[in-house]
Chain A
Amino acid sequence: MENAGHAPQILTAKAAGLVGCVQCGRVHRPGVMVCDRCGAAIASRDTTSVQRVWAWLFAGLVVYVPANIYPMLRTTVLGKTSESTIFGGVVDLMHHGSYGIAAIVFFASIIIPCSKFAAIAFLALSVQRKVRMSAGARHKLYEVVEFVGRWSMIDVFVVAILASLVQLDFAASINPGIAAVSFAVSVAFTMISAESFDSRLIWDADEDEHHG
């Protein structure tokens, strides 16, 4: 498709005095509140976006703490109960020699959530002040954050499957711990945080820089 402006300067709907719909791409005159093609609410830029991103991110961070402190799994073997946290589960897997699976769990439950917190915070900060990273690179980062977030839910599903399967009365039983709840809530909050982010803001900051 050809850009309505002249290369290399990309013309945006905002710069042209128009408003684009983020759902269906239809272009509207300013002042229109609801898209006539798809019915979504429209705004040139979502001004409350960054605030909501911070609020959900903070909430996600707060519930991530108990998720790591409290037990994720309670395993009872022959009457003896042991509890394991997220990190403890990874260590157990490594002791059993399942390095691949340990890596998956470690990535999904520790590396991804932590780098996601950092990445969202960085993106939110980057639209509020100037940063060195180019808009193109930040957009890529945003896409990765958006794509990867839901995969953190793996550990919650693992706990559910183990708990439903391993119920062998006295011999062995596995029950979910309270950390499973706070972990699931934390993943959900950070997903909402990432979705609240208006990715068009990434490019606005870049443009202001070009215009001096």
Chain B
Amino acid sequence: MAQLPALDELIACPSCDALYLERDVAPGETASCLRCHAVLEAPRRTAMTRIIMLALAAIILMVAAIFFPFLELEVAGRAHRASLLDTVRAFSSGLTAPLTVAMAALIVILPLTRFGAIIYTLAPMAFGNHPWPHAQSAFRMAEALRPWAMAEVFIVGVAVALVKVAGLAHLSLGPAFWAFVGLVIVTVLKDNFMSRLTVWKTLDTRRKF
């Protein structure tokens, strides 16, 4: 076998371990693994700034979703309002109490933590500075939390619930519902802009000079 190049010039596919010679990928291009087709690098111009903006927007929308009324149910002239926190607290009585913590985490706490960690990691890089301390741990956490932040699953749940109650009573959507829909859209956009390996590479080079 021929002599392998230096370790710095190599990159291994995180999904299947295929070894590649690292070359600079131009902004707008996407480098994928030949074998398993996982996206390796997808740098986008001003991606860092865009991701930070989207994460900030997501945090603001989440705060709005928490404080405005979420859904309103009207039966025979009597209205019943539920906020996002009410849905989180739905399990708080009896044997289902542990689910309250899980609900709060999946719908509110984990998404917020993830946005915060992403902003913490990327903000100094968008402005061309050194990463802040523990930026690596912050970004590792953000990636680990990705499957557990379930805002978009929740919104589909809301849609299903709406249909279930529709026959029983008149239901109206509050501003918090739309804030939450906005949050889901912003989150999906943000995750599409973000290429994990590109972020790690940028973090690494920024640390060195």
Contacts and interface: CB of A to CB of B under 8 A. Distances in A.
Contacts of B11: 1, 20, 25-27
Given A16-B4, A150-B147, A153-B150, A184 B156 contact: no
B170 to A, nearest CB: 12
Q: What bracket does the count of chain A residues touching chain B fall in?
A: 35 or more
B31 A1 contact: yes
A176 B103 CA distance: 13
Contact of A38 (B5, B40, B168, B200): B200
A158 B16 contact: no
A29 interface: yes
A180 B73 CA distance: 23
Interface of B: 1, 4-5, 7, 10-23, 25, 31, 34-36, 40-41, 71, 73, 75-76, 78, 80, 82, 86-91, 93, 95-96, 98-99, 102-103, 106-107, 136-137, 139-140, 143, 147-148, 150, 153-154, 156-158, 160-161, 163-165, 167-169, 171, 196-197, 200-201, 203-204
Interface of A: 1-5, 10-16, 18-29, 37-40, 93, 96, 98, 101, 104-105, 136, 139, 146, 149-151, 153-168, 171-172, 175-178, 180-181, 184, 188, 191, 195, 199-200, 202-204
Contacts of B25: 1
Contact of A150 (B41, B140, B153, B161): B153
B91 A161 contact: no
A104 B96 CA distance: 24
Contacts of A3: 18-21, 34
Contacts of A93: 163-164
12 contacts: A3-B34, A4-B5, A13-B12, A15-B19, A21-B12, A37-B200, A101-B160, A136-B35, A161-B71, A164-B90, A165-B73, A171-B76
Contact of A176 (B73, B90, B147): B90
A121 B12 CA distance: 27
